[in-house]
Amino acid sequence: MRNSLNRWLQPRVEALGLEIGAANLKLVEISGSPPVLKGFATRPTPPGAIRGGNIVEPSIIAGELREMLAEMQTRKRYVVAGVSNLAVITRIIQVPKMGERELEEAIHWEAERYIPFPIDEVVLDYAPLDPPAEVPDDAQLDVVIAAARLETITQLVETLKEAQLEPVVLDVKPFAGLRTIENYMNGEGNDGAEPVSVFLEIGAESSSLVLSRGARLLMHRNLNISGNDFTEAIAKSFGLDFSSAEEVKRDYGLATIPTEDEESLLDFDAERERFNPARMYDAIRPVLVDATTELRRSLEFFRVQIGDIHIDKGFITGGGSKLRGLPGILGEALGLQLNPVDPWDVLQVNESQYDMSELHKLAPEFTVPVGLGLRGVDPLD
């Protein structure tokens, strides 16, 4: 009797998924199991409102979020929100297997060595990568630690409160993305065990690279290249301001060496001529070189850390991956195919309720928000 009453007093909450991105705000409502898409909203982040992973205009963001909630007509106010990649440091560490209380102490101790700012200005979280019960007593426990500056987290929470939202979980964005695509990562790898995957997410201001076995995290690293770098290269090369360059990037941007075919497609349209493929490629090439170099270095770093592994699968997502030809070029640099991800595939979607072509166009942008929303279906688990 007492038990059932307790249960009754703890209603199940469902939370929205929210990403406050440097380029776009994204909200998604998912419900039940199997998960159903109930609604979503996205709009551009007001210019200058986010800088270096920090919310510099909380009231402006909160105002936008309130409008998005009204647009979605949802009454849910709990959220699972992503923390900017630029504000989070993650490390995977090994500790001897130990009890929960001891682990907490050990992690705190270890974290001080890895985190480049004072530990009392930091919010720390951690999770064992394998269920401790399944790890043999004499084995090491792999634990992922995430640390963010207290100031950044406070700013995020204040912004959410101002939007009348109640955060139940704050999550690391690439880990949320991993949750969305975990079903793609199953199967059998080259060595007969679960396949090893790399997962690249390219946002406006930051990107991240994840290495996993099955859906189990092996390594994670933030990358120094992102969508804005391409926009800035175009702005500089053609003498445009940022927002015009952004538009030009979407219309004419490309990451492949133009073929003669493409050249001959040119008509006498002055704008097409100005942003022709050869010029566009010239503008973007330095960023591509940096991107491919950084990717190769990251893989080398992974290999140094965990030994020479065969990578079975590759995935690419994030709005920045929409640059024409980019997945191909980056895949070539890594020596594997980078496949696009469609986060809507993991949800039940009522096709008469949505403009499906619009939805699929937004797939790269929504991989992370859908992962946050999936966590929100059972946030207290």
Q: Per CB under 6 A, which region of 17-25, 54-62, 122-130, 268-276 contacts ligand ADP? A: 17-25
**How many positions of this chain bind ligand ADP (CB under 6 A)?**
21
* Contact indicator for 294, 154 with CB cutoff of 8 Å: no
Answer yes or no whether residue 246 interacts with ligand ADP by CB under 6 A. yes
Burial 170-206 (b: 16+ CB within 10 A, else e): bbbbbbbbbbbbbebbeeebeeeebbbbbbbbbbbbb
Residues contributing to the site for Mg ion (CB under 5 A) = 21, 203
Question: x/- binding map, residues 37-76, to ligand ADP, per CB under 6 A?
Answer: ----------------------------------------
Q: Per CB under 6 A, which region of 28-36, 272-280, 319-327, 330-338 contacts ligand ADP? A: 319-327
Choose which of 197, 208, 212, 231 interacts with ligand ADP (CB under 6 A): 231
Give me the phi and psi of 275, to 5 degrees please: -105, 40
Answer yes or no whether residue 174 interacts with ligand ADP by CB under 6 A. no
Query: Cβ 367 to Mg ion, closest distance in Å?
Result: 9
Neighbouring-strand partners of residue 314: 198
CA 161 to CA 116: how far, in whole Å? 29
With respect to ligand ADP, which residue has the nearer C-beta, 122 or 280?
A: 280
- The secondary structure of 160-179, three-state, reads HHHCCCEEEEEEEHHHHHHH
With respect to ligand ADP, which residue has the nearer C-beta, 74 or 228?
A: 228
With respect to ligand ADP, which residue has the nearer C-beta, 177 or 195?
A: 177
Answer yes or no whether residue 250 interacts with ligand ADP by CB under 6 A. yes
CA 210 to CA 145: how far, in whole Å? 15
Answer yes or no whether residue 365 interacts with ligand ADP by CB under 6 A. yes
CA 267 to CA 355: how far, in whole Å? 32
Burial 105-140 (b: 16+ CB within 10 A, else e): ebbeebbeeebeeeeeebbbbbebeeeeeeeeeeee
Answer yes or no whether residue 156 interacts with ligand ADP by CB under 6 A. no
Q: Per CB under 6 A, which region of 86-94, 155-163, 181-189, 314-322 contacts ligand ADP? A: 314-322
Answer yes or no whether residue 204 interacts with ligand ADP by CB under 6 A. yes
Distance spanning both ends of the chain, measured CA to CA = 23
* Contact indicator for 109, 96 with CB cutoff of 8 Å: no
Strand 54-55 relative to strand 50-51, pairing = antiparallel
With respect to ligand ADP, which residue has the nearer C-beta, 234 or 311?
A: 234
> Given the rule CB under 6 A, which residues bind ligand ADP?
19, 21-24, 203-205, 227-228, 231, 246, 249-250, 253, 318-320, 322-323, 365
